[in-house]
Structure 1
Amino acid sequence: MIAWKGLGTSKNFKMLKLSTIKFSTARITHKPISTTKITNNGSNPQMAFPCLDKLEQKTQVLSGSCNIEGNVNSLENGPEPSYSFVQTGFKTYKSHKPIFFDHGGYLPEYEIAYETWGQLNAEKDNIILVHTGLSASSHAKSQVDNEKPGWWEKFIGSGKYLDTDKYFIICTNVLGGCYGSTGPSSKDPANNDYYGTRFPIITVNDMVRAQRELIRDEFGVSKIHASIGASMGGMQSLAYAWEFPDEVEKVISISGCARSHPYSIALRHTQRQVLMSDPNWNRGFYYDKIPPHIGMKLAREIATITYRSGPEWEYRFGRNRADDSKSPALCPDFLVETYLDHAGEKFCLEYDANSLLYVSKAMDLFDLSSSNREKALKTRKSTEDEFFNHTPTSQSTSVPPEPYQEKKTSATVTPEESLQDLKNGLEKIAHKDVMVVGVESDILFPVWQQREIFDVLSSIENKERNLKYFELGTDISNYGHDTFLLSIDHFGPAVKDFLG
C-alpha cells in the first residue's frame, strides 16, 4: 500500500515518484474500473479513453487498491528539473519568533530551507540572495550535499554569471512552499496537525521578511550585495528592496512586475479553480489521503501553456499528431497535447497542492503601489497588536456578500491615478541600482510589465543610481516566460556586468 504523506519540511522526506509511473495493465494489477459501456448495436463503436483510464489507475494506486510491479520510470524532459528527490541537502533556519502577515494571521514559528554556494568573505558584503519562481526549490545549483543539477545550474558557479569565486550565493525555498520551508503541508505547533487551509494567506512581501530573518540570524549580516530573481523571484527581488531599502545594494528583476495585472491573475485563477474542483482536494485536508493529483495535473497543463510562446509551439510541434495512422481521439492526440499531458503528469505529485494555491495567490496579491503597502502594513500591525495583547483576531476570509457586478474603472481609480500610486510606492527604492530584464515573447508576464518598472523608476529623478533595462526580442528568444531558464547566455552577460 502506498500512503500519501504531505510534501513537507522533513529533511529526510522521500516520496515515491508516482507522477512518473508508467501505467499499463501489464505492470499494474487493479480492481476493475467502472465505466459506462455502450452496447455494440450502435452505429459506431465506443471511443477508448486511455488518458482517463490512467488517471483512474493512479487514484487506485494512491488509495492502495492496486499494486505496482516493475521499476519507476524517470521523466526529465523540461526546463525545470524534477524535485521528487530534492528533499535532502538543504539546511534549515528555524525562527522561534512569530511572523505576522499582510492580510492577517500569523505563524507562531517557522522554518526556511536554504542552500549556499561560494564563501562569505571577511567583510560579509558579498551575499547575493537568489529568489525562486512559484514551484522551485532552494536547489538552484548542485552542491556537495546534493549533486543533482539545480534549476539555475548553468547560471551559478565558478566564473559563471553569478560567480561563486566572487559572491556568496544563498537561495531559499519560500515561506508557504513545500521543499523544506514552512507551508500548508507543515504541522501547526498549536495542535500538531497539518495547517492545510488553516494556513494564513501569504504575500510576496511576507516571504521576503522571512528571508531577511534568515540573512540576519544565520549569517549575522544586515546588508546584501544583490537581490535577484525571475518570475515570482523578480517580484521578490523588488519586494526585498522595498521592505529593506538600506539593506541591499543592487536589485535585478527578470520577467517580473511591480504589480500583478488582471491577465496574469485570471490565468492563475483558472489553475486554482481546476485544482480545487478535484474532490480529493477536500478543501485542503487531503494529507494522509488520496492527493488531488488530477486537479494538479490539469492546473499544471494550464500553467505550462503560459510558460511558453505561440511561435515556439508552432516551431516545436506544429499541427503534427502523435500518430497519423490512428483515428483522432479526445485524449491527447496532437503532439502539443501529448507534451502538455506529460508536463502535468510529471508535476502532479511533485508539489503540494495547497502550496500551489497559496503561492500563486501571493503572486496575484503582489502590488508595490503606495496605497496597497500602506493597507498591508496597517493590517499586519493590527494582527501583531492583537497577538501581543491577547485579543481575538478580527481576520476575515469570507468572500464579498454581494454578487458580482461590472464596475466602471472611473468609479474607482483612473489609469493615471493608478500609475501615480505605483510611482509613489516605488519611490522607496528609486535610489537603488536596479536592473530590469524583459522578454518580448513572454505571455504570462508581458514585456510591458517590465517596461513599466523601468519607466516608473526612470520618472523618479535620482542621479546617483544605476538604472538598467535589458530586453530579449523575439529575434533572440521565443521561449516565452521560460526564457530565464533556457536562454541564460543571452541575458547572463548583462547581469554579470551589472553586478560589477
Structure 2
Amino acid sequence: MRSSWRAVGTSASSTLLRAAQPPLAASFSSASRRHKPRAVVETPAFPCLDANEARTQRLLSQQGPELDDAAAASSTSTSSSAGPEPSYSFVTSGYKTYHHAEPLPLDYGGILPEYDIAYETWGQLNERKDNAILIHTGLSASSHAKSHSDNTARGWWEEFIGPGKALDTDRFFVICTNVLGGCYGSTGPSSVHPLDPEGGRYGTRFPILSIFDMVRAQFHLLDSLGVRTLFASVGSSMGGMQSIAAAHLEPERVQRVISISGCARSGPSSIALRFAQRSVLMSDPNWNRGHYYGPNKLPPHTGMKLARQIATITYRSGPEWEQRFGRRRRKAVVSSEGSAGSSLTGPSLQEADPALCPDFEIESYIDYQGEQFCLKYDANSLIYISKAMDLFDMSDEALEDLDERRTRAHGTAEESGIRGLAGSIYGEKEGDTSAPQRKHIRTLSSPSAHFYLPSLTRGLSRLVKTPTLIIGAQSDILFPIDQQRELAECLRMTGNRKVRYSELDSPTGHDSFLIDVENVGGQIKGFLS
C-alpha cells in the first residue's frame, strides 16, 4: 500500500498539479495583506459589567444598604422568553410575628437567646383545633404563600391555597412561616444580636442550624396558637425535609405528611451544587466574612447574583430550556437605510453579533434571574439555610450523632428543655425481621446507594403509622428523583402501608411544585380528602 501511494504521489500529473499551484507561504501572505487590520481593535462594550458597577454605585449612595425589592425590579437585564415562573415577592409587612422569649438550644451546640418567627394564616381554626395545616417552605421563600387583605401581592403558592383549592381554606386553617434563619421577619443572621451592647447584627456569629431546629421553632409557634394537632405537615424542597422532620420529632402531633421534591438525606450532588453557590458568594469581597451590615458597607450583591445563576440552573431542566430557548440568540435593532440592494427604510431586528456578555437567550434568562434576586434576599441567610439542608440526614447514625452532640452541649432533653429527639429511634433494629420487606416500588437507579437503606429505614421508623404522600419530578436536578424513590421505599420498609408515591413527567424540574397546579395540587387535594 505504501509503495502504491508513493507511485501516485510522484506521477507526472501530480507533478504538473503542484507546479500550477502557488507556494503555500505566498498564499498566506496574500490573504494576510487582504485582511490586515488597519487599526487596533477597541475593547468591546460590556453592558453586564456596567450594570454591576451601576448597582454598586447606587448602593454606595445609600446609607446602610438593605434588601431592596425596588432596586432589583429596576434591573437592566431582561428575560427574553416567556414561560411559567414562580412568584416570589419581597416581604416587609403583612405578616404576624411570634416572639419566643426563652433560649432555644440548637442541635449543633449553639443557643439563640430569643427569636421571632414570621407567619401568615388563611382560613379558620375550628373549635376542636384539629384542622390546621402547616406549610414548610423552601430555602428562599417567605411566609407569604397566598395573597390576603394585609398583603395583596401574589403569594408563592397562590393557586394552591384558597376555597376549593388543594389547601382548601373552607376546610383548613393554613399556616405558613418564614423559617428560622431567614430574612423575611424571622430571626436570622441579619437580625440584631440581642446580647450585643452596640446593637450589631448577628452576621456569622449566628449559630449553625439544623432542619430540626427550624421545626422546633415552628412547634413553639403552634403552641402559642393553641394547635396541638396538625391535620397535615406539608412541605416542598427544603420544606419536604421539614415535613419529615416534624413527623419524626412529634409523630403523635402530625397526622399526615406531604413531602414534595424533598428527601430523607441530602445527596452529594445536591451538597456540591449548594457548596458552589456558597463559594462564589463568600468569595465576594463585600461579604467581609459575613459582616456587611450597616452604613458604608455593601452587601455581596455580585456573589449573590452569581449564586442565584447557579441555583437557577438547578431549578429547571434542559428539556424545558430546549423548548423555551433552544440556541436562539438575542436580537439587535439595525437600520437598513442606505444598505445596498435593500428596499427597507426603517429599523429591523436581526441576530446580534456574538458578545461576551449575555448573548444567547438562555444566558439573558439566567442573568435576569440573578439580577432580580441579588438584593431581595440576605446572603448570610442563604449560606446558613443551605448549610442546614446539606446537614439533613434521617439515617440512624446521623440522628444518633445529633443526639450525642446536643447532649454534650446542653445536657439531656429533660435538662435542656429541647422538645422532641432527633435520634432515640425505635422500631426495626438490627436482626429484627418482623418489619415488612421491600415491595412494589421501583428499584433505585443508583445501586451504590443501597448500602445505607437499612439505616435510613430505621431512622424513619417513627413515621410507621403516618399516612404520607411523596411527589417527585423526573426532571429534577437539585433533588433527583432517586431521592423521592428511596424515601418512599424506606417508609414502606418500616411497615408503613399508607405511603402514596407519585412521579411527575413535567419538564419544569425542581420548580414543578411551584408551577404544576393541576398535577401537584390535584394530588394534594385528593390525599387530604
TM-score, normalized by length of structure 1? 0.82
1:321-370 Cα shifts (integer Å, max 9, x gaps)? 01254321111110000001000000000000000000111111111111
CA distance in 2, matches of 1:415, 1:303: 25
Match of 1:331 in 2: 357
CA–CA distance in structure 2, aligned partners of residues 96 and 88 of structure 1: 22
Number of the residue aligned with 2:322:
314
Determine the structure 2 residue equivalent to 1:199: 206
Q: Which of 188, 194, 200 is residue 183 of structure 1 equivalent to? A: 188
Contact 2:316–2:509 (CA<8 Å) still a contact in 1? yes
The corresponding residue for 1:233 is 239
State which of 362, 369, 374 in structure 2 corresponds to 1:348.
Answer: 374
Offset at 1:388? 12
Q: Structure 1 CA distance, aligned partners of 2:177 and 2:167?
A: 16
Which secondary structure state, in structure 1, belongs to the residue aligned with residue 367 of structure 2? helix
Structure 1 residues 415 and 310: alpha-carbon distance in aligned structure 2, compared to 1, 3 A threshold: closer
The one-letter code of the counterpart of 1:317 is F
Determine the structure 2 residue equivalent to 1:209.
216
- Confirm or deny that 1:251 pairs with 2:257: yes
CA distance in 2, matches of 1:386, 1:162: 38
Instruction: Look up the match of 1:59.
Output: 56
The equivalent position to 1:107 in structure 2, one of 100, 103, 112, is 112
- Name the aligned partner's letter for residue 239 of structure 1: A
| CA 488–239 in structure 1, closer or farther in 2 if over 3 Å, else same | same
The aligned counterpart of 2:395 is 369
Correspondence list, 1:247-286, <5 A: 247-286=253-292
Alignment of 1:95-494 (within 5 A): 95-191=100-196, 192-216=199-223, 218-288=224-294, 289-323=297-331, 324-385=350-411, 415-462=449-496, 465-473=497-505, 477-494=506-523
1:375-402 deviations in Å (ceiling 9; x for gaps): 1122123222499999xxxxxxxxxxxx
CA distance in 1, matches of 2:474, 2:413: 46
Using the TM superposition, give the Cα deviation of residue 265 of structure 1 relative to its aligned residue in structure 2, in angstroms.
Answer: 0.4
Measure, in 1, the Cα distance between the counterparts of 2:88 and 2:480: 27
Higher helix share: 2
Q: Distance in 1 between matches of 2:74 and 2:285?
A: 28
* Partner SS state of residue 485, structure 1: helix
Q: Tell me, what secondary structure is at the counterpart of 1:122?
A: coil
Which structure 1 residue ranges, 4+ long, deviate > 3 Å from structure 2? 40-43, 71-78, 385-390, 414-417
Unaligned runs of 5+ in 1: 1-39, 391-413
Q: Distance in 2 between matches of 1:481 and 1:221?
A: 31
Counterpart Cα distance in 2 of 1:199 and 1:389: 23
Cα distance change on mapping 1:467 and 1:138 into 2, 3 Å: same
| Separation of aligned partners in 1, 2:94 and 2:128 | 27
Matched with 2:32 is none
Q: Specify the SS of the correspondent of 1:193.
A: coil
Q: Distance in 1 between matches of 2:415 and 2:450?
A: 41
Question: CA separation in 1, counterparts of 2:471 and 2:517?
Answer: 12
User: 1:207-231: per-residue Cα shift (whole Å, max 9, x none)?
Assistant: 0010001001x21222111000111
Aligned residue pairs total 427
Percent sequence identity over matched residues?
A: 56
**1:395-424 CA-partner distances (Å, limit 9, x unpaired):** xxxxxxxxxxxxxxxxxxx85542211111
Say if 1:259 and 1:386 are closer, same or farther in 2 by CA, change over 3 A.
closer
Q: In 2, distance between residues paired with 1:177 and 1:380?
A: 23
Deviation, structure 1 residue 189? 0.9
CA distance in 2, matches of 1:419, 1:388: 31
Task: Say whether the 8 Å CA contact 2:89–2:155 is kept in structure 1.
Answer: no
SS in 1 for 2:362: helix
Secondary structure of residue in 2 paired with 1:372? helix
AA partner of residue 431 (structure 1):
K
CA distance in 2, matches of 1:228, 1:149: 20
- In the aligned structure 2, how far is the partner of 1:248 from the partner of 1:226? 6
What SS is found at the alignment partner of 2:159?
Answer: coil
Q: 1: distance between equivalents of 2:312 and 2:111?
A: 32
Deviation at 1:470, TM superposition (A): 1.4
Amino acid at match of 1:208: V
CA contact (8 A) 2:329 2:351 kept: no
Distance 2:168 2:88 in 1: 25
Q: Give distance in 2, aligned partners of 1:82 and 1:365.
A: 25
RMSD: 2.2
CA contact (8 A) 1:82 1:350 kept: no
3-state secondary structure, aligned to 2:98 = strand
| Alignment-mate amino acid for residue 296 of structure 1 | M
* Secondary structure in structure 2 of the residue aligned to 1:227: strand
Are residues 1:47 and 2:39 paired?
no
Cross-structure match for 2:26: none
C-alpha distance in 1 between matches for 2:512 and 2:309: 18
Q: How far 1:41 sits from its partner (Å)?
A: 8.3
Q: Which amino acid aligns with 2:207?
A: P
Provide Cα deviations, 1:260-316, integer angstroms capped at 9, x if missing partner.
000000000000000000000000000021110000000000000000000001000
Which residue in 1 is equivalent to 2:443? Answer: none
Amino acid in the other structure paired with 2:452: S
Question: In 2, distance between residues paired with 1:41 and 1:389?
Answer: 82
Distance verdict in 2 for CA 1:119–1:386, change over 3 Å: closer
Matched residue SS, 2:308: helix
Asked if 1:92 corresponds to 2:88, the answer is: no
CA contact (8 A) 1:197 1:284 kept: yes
